[in-house]
Amino acid sequence: MSDAAWAVVDRLSTSIREVLGDDLAALYVHGSLVTGGFIEGKSDLDLLGVVGHDLDGQQADRLLGGFESNLVTMAHDADFRIVTTAVALAPSAPGSTPTMAYEVQVRPTSDEPLRAIRGPAVEPDLVVELSQVRTWGRALVGPEPSEVIGAVADEQVVAVGDGHLARWLAIPFDPQVDELMVFTACRVWRFAETGEHVPKADAASWVLARRPDLDVVTQALARRRGDDGVITAEGVKELLTTVRQNLAGRAP
């Protein structure tokens, strides 16, 4: 548990509540800070808000100002998204694509420390996030996640993950996201087999128990622990291909 990270979450929560007031139906913290996999210097702070309607320009400006005022004291990257209650309640409605109302990405050490995306904006990854929040989100405002966020079909979560794997296989290897590719592949495989959202390290260990020959997973875990680890393009390609083959084998 990171007391410093939770202190940042508390400050951001206060700022969000001050801006949105009664429009804020719920606010959840999720991800590694909740599941116990948080690592200082590597893990993000993940927050999801739920509001009754799309935000207006004034609310969006004030929200961004709140993040700007906290930026000088933040040592952690953060991702904050807002969705409407309609999107939260029916994230798997037939033919629907989850649409977020607003997003703020905070990168304190970046040349662009704050990035705001004003919606409504289509975000397919929101399917996965809503599923994760429903499973393990912790309420900072409002009721428990299962009362606000509707059930997400497992097939939809897997489809989004498989889409990422296919895209990474189709483009040149990017070492800046090598760990992300490895751990995402592991989590997609684990979820497809068990229907469970688990932390990155747990998913990687699960994969190694089945395929100890996938050395790229061992190397990624070493890196995550702060040890030396070499993640190669060939190793990532083998892992992504292996996971996609297993997903294809499960298709009806």
Spatial CA neighbour of 75 closest among 116, 39, 102: 39
* Structure token pair of residue 79: 């991702």
DSSP label of 28:
E
pLDDT tens-place string over residues 89-142: 988 877 677 889 999 999 988 888 999 998 888 888 999 999 999 999 999 999
Question: Does position 7 have pLDDT exceeding 70, yes or no?
Answer: yes
Average pLDDT, the chain: 92
Check if the beta carbon of residue 158 is closer than 8 Å to that of residue 188. Answer: yes
User: Helix/strand/coil (H, E, C) string of 171-238?
Assistant: CCCCHHHHHHHHHHHHHHHHHHHHCCCCCHHHHHHHHHHHCCCCHHHHHHHHHHCCCCCCCCHHHHHH
Q: How much of the chain exceeds pLDDT 90, in percent?
A: 75
| Structure confidence at residue 2 (pLDDT) | 80
CB atoms within 10 A of CB 248: 9
Measured from the Cβ of residue 37, the count of other Cβ atoms closer than 10 Å reads 16
| pLDDT value at residue 105 | 92
DSSP letter, residue 98: -
Query: What is the CATH number that goes with domain 3-148?
Result: 3.30.300.190
Domain map of the chain by residue range?
Answer: 3-148, 154-250
By the 8 A CB rule, do 116 and 102 touch? yes
In tens, the pLDDT along 28-50 reads: 999 989 988 888 878 889 999 99
Respond yes or no on whether the N-terminal peptide bond of residue 120 is cis (omega within 30° of 0).
yes
Query: Using omega within 30 degrees of 0 as the cis cutoff, is the peptide bond preceding 145 cis?
Result: no
Q: Is the pLDDT of residue 1 over 60?
A: no
Residue whose structure tokens are 């705001």: 116
- Give CA 71 to chain center in angstroms: 20
Q: Could you report the per-residue pLDDT of 52-103, keeping only the tens digit for each? A: 998 888 999 999 999 999 887 888 899 999 999 999 998 887 767 788 999 9
Question: Exposed, middle or buried: residue 252 (CB in 10 Å: 0-12, 13-18, 19+)?
Answer: exposed
Query: Does the pLDDT of residue 251 top 70, yes or no?
Result: no
pLDDT tens per residue, range 183-205: 999 999 999 999 999 999 999 99
Q: Give the pLDDT of residue 43.
A: 83
